[in-house]
């Protein structure tokens, strides 16, 4: 039997940092593996097949090294759990939903940076809550501590929930 797979989406934000810390603690408590996922998309002109005006290789390399570096920065060199960093090409919402297919839990941060200031969840959090193949924990910004918002198996958590 495989250990529980905890997937956490990271983008470098304070919310993804909080999500990573919580997901690591949860993975440790259940004897699970932590998969740290970062979504990356090449600049729009590359996707169109337009010859690049610059070399996108360094951006790609930075994206590919980001989840491991971020996990080390946040969790330290010896986090006490198995950490599997992954960079996947695509939009964050779809990459995380796809990663949830093999996961026991999906953990994401939510900044809610869309056009409606009053939205409780950002677009990625909304998409994951609606389409993930496993339960979802969504972390809100520390300064936005309204009551938790739950959607189809999703739980909005803050560090005080740990």
Higher pLDDT, 76 or 117: 76
Percent of the chain with pLDDT over 90: 57
pTM of the model: 0.78
Contact 36, 10 (CB under 8 A): yes
* Mean pLDDT, the chain, integer: 82
Per-residue confidence (pLDDT) for residue 113, from 0 to 100:
55
Closest CA to 38 of 16, 23, 5: 16
- 45 pLDDT exceeds 60? no
Q: Looking at the predicted structure, is the pLDDT value of residue 108 above 90?
A: yes
For the chain, what are the domain ranges?
Answer: 5-41+58-161
Judged against a pLDDT cut of 70, whether residue 130 lies above it is answered with yes
5-41+58-161 fold? Rossmann fold (3.40.50)
pLDDT score, position 147: 46
């Amino acid at each position: 039997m495989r250990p529980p797979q905890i997937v956490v989406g990271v983008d470098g934000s304070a919310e993804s940092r909080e999500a990573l810390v919580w997901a690591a603690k949860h993975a440790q408590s259940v004897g699970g593996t932590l998969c740290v996922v970062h979504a990356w998309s090449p600049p729009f002109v590359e996707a169109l097949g337009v010859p690049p005006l610059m070399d996108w290789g360094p951006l790609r390399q930075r994206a590919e090294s980001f989840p491991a570096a971020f996990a080390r920065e946040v969790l330290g060199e010896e986090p006490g759990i198995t950490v599997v960093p992954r960079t996947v090409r695509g939009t964050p919402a779809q990459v995380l939903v796809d990663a949830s297919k093999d996961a026991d839990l999906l953990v994401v941060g939510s900044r809610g940076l869309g056009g409606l200031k009053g939205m409780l969840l950002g677009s990625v959090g909304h998409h994951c809550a609606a389409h993930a193949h496993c339960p979802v924990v969504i972390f809100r910004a520390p300064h936005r501590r309204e009551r938790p918002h739950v959607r189809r198996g999703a739980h909005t958590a803050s560090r005080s929930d740990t």
